[in-house]
Amino acid sequence: MPYTPDELKNLSWYQKLIDEDEQKYLQNKALLEMQANFSGSVDNPDVLIRNQEGTVLLFEDPYTNDLPEDPSTLSIHPLVVNKLKDDENTLNDVLDRDFEEL
């Protein structure tokens, strides 16, 4: 019969297993950040930590399950939008403004 969440909190072997997983997670994050620092990609704000397939890797705090706002999660997107056509001649080309009888 499986353990309840309350029972798992009291089992030392399970708590050790959770702690080992959290430590491996944090070590992997530290290793990837160190590789980014070494390669110089950390200085480029457009480059995030990615795996070999190109997927962006974001690491949350395993203790609070929050995503920290630090350089490893910072992504910069340009907010410049191309100007839409807004002059009368262009609008008249797109919209048929002539009224016709049915």
Q: What is the predicted pLDDT for the residue at 98?
A: 78
Average pLDDT for the chain = 77
79 or 20: whose pLDDT is higher?
A: 20
pTM of the full predicted structure? 0.56
> Predicted confidence band at 19 (pLDDT cuts at 50, 70, 90)?
very high
pLDDT digits (tens, 9 = 90+) for 25-81: 889 888 887 877 776 655 565 556 777 787 877 788 888 888 877 766 666 666 777
Angle ∠(17,71,66) on CA atoms, nearest 5 = 45
Written as six digits, the tokens of 7 are: 């029972």
Question: Residue 27: enclosing H or E segment and its boundaries?
Answer: helix 12-39
